Amino acid sequence: MQLITVGTVAFDRIETPFGIAEKTVGGAATYISLAASVFLDKMGLVSVVGDDFPEGVMQQLRDRGVDLEGLEVMAGKESFFWAGRYHYDMNTRDTLETRLNVLLDLDPQLPEDYKQAPYVMLGNLDPKVQAKVLDQMEERPALVVMDTMNFWMDSAMEDLLKVIQRVDILAINDAEARQLSGEHSLVRAAGKILAMGPKYLVIKKGEHGALLFSKDRVFFAPALPLEDVVDPTGAGDTFAGGFIGFLARSQDHSFDNLKRAIIVGSALASFCCEKFGIERLLEIDKVDIDQRIQDFVELVDFDIELVES
């Protein structure tokens, strides 16, 4: 396996000011794996679903190189369900309902050939489950990227801090960075979070792009201005999947390559927003992605000549 991902595989109900999807497939691990599959062909997915989860979607994942031996299917139980409503700016949302269902019983047991994976993506989940995945790795992976959310900061801060200590890159949104650090300034927040263990911090800011921090450097990538944002659900996970997939493909963890990975993640996330759920991610091909990355290059390209005083 080149990469293993742990996270939710879910059904979502999504309300935006412009439309509703009553029951669409989502989940952090679903988005991450689909995005990473652009760069990789041997990935493992660690999660749990009920027997209500469509076989057709599992096959679409397998077709893209995502092995599902690590996905437990629990008979007679329902998959994780999340419902959310977006505000008019489509950048903020309220969670209307979270039904953990099968997630309550998730006790990840890694298949043998997952245990040597060099790249590990810890999607947003109970930090105890994230730690259990790391505990089962035979060697320290080359790179561990982690996501989390306010829910775990409120309910499991001690466990969360223990996992954060063990990862190379933490990728969270701006509100989460502020909550985790207790700092309003994102620069100060980054300083505090990097002191918790990770070598790099990515702060995702939705339609306002993403920041990459190391101890002494910072890089910013904008989000592509889209004519229509249909559904931003999964954009953060798609970003993370593209980011780690690109790094796993290039096996270069230098700051300059992380900058490229941020652009690639942003490009993939922009597709994710164009349709509900995972629909758009299933449509795009290499040509679409290359064109979108080129759009990013043009978006930030400028020359300047400083006037001498």
Taking the CB of residue 56, how many other CB atoms lie within 10 A of it?
8
* 53 touches ligand AMP by CB under 6 A: no
Pick between residue 37 and residue 124 the one whose CB is nearest to ligand AMP.
Answer: 124
* 124 touches ligand AMP by CB under 6 A: yes
* 27 touches ligand AMP by CB under 6 A: yes
Q: Amino acid letter at 151?
A: F
Pick between residue 118 and residue 282 the one whose CB is nearest to ligand AMP.
Answer: 282
Both structure tokens of 290? 């290359």
CB 12 within 8 A of CB 82: yes
CB 61 within 8 A of CB 45: yes
CA distance 93 to 229: 14
Pick between residue 108 and residue 236 the one whose CB is nearest to ligand AMP.
Answer: 236
Both structure tokens of 307? 């006037």
Largest separation between any pair of C-alpha atoms in the chain:
75
CB 201 within 8 A of CB 169: yes
Least CB distance from residue 239 to ligand AMP, whole Å?
8
* 271 touches ligand AMP by CB under 6 A: no
Pick between residue 9 and residue 201 the one whose CB is nearest to ligand AMP.
Answer: 9
The CA angle 39-40-42, to the nearest 5 degrees, is 170
* 38 touches ligand AMP by CB under 6 A: no
CA distance 279 to 271: 10
Pick between residue 26 and residue 245 the one whose CB is nearest to ligand AMP.
Answer: 26
CA distance 211 to 220: 5
Least CB distance from residue 211 to ligand AMP, whole Å?
17
Give the interface size with ligand AMP as a residue count (CB under 6 A): 16
Q: Select the residue interacting with ligand AMP from 39, 82, 200, 213 (CB under 6 A).
A: 82
- 3-class secondary structure, 125: coil
Q: Select the residue interacting with ligand AMP from 12, 67, 168, 176 (CB under 6 A).
A: 12
* 98 touches ligand AMP by CB under 6 A: yes
Pick between residue 157 and residue 297 the one whose CB is nearest to ligand AMP.
Answer: 157
Nearest to 108 by CA among 72, 74, 63, 137: 72
Least CB distance from residue 306 to ligand AMP, whole Å?
40
Q: What is the contact mask toward ligand AMP in residues 207 to 246, using x (rule: CB under 6 A)?
A: --------------------------xxxxx---------
Length of the chain: 309
Q: What is the contact mask toward ligand AMP in residues 139 to 158, using x (rule: CB under 6 A)?
A: ------------x-------
Least CB distance from residue 234 to ligand AMP, whole Å?
5
Taking the CB of residue 13, how many other CB atoms lie within 10 A of it?
17
Using CB under 6 A as the criterion, which residues of the chain lie in contact with ligand AMP when the complex forms?
A: 8, 10, 12, 26-28, 82, 98, 124-125, 151, 233-237
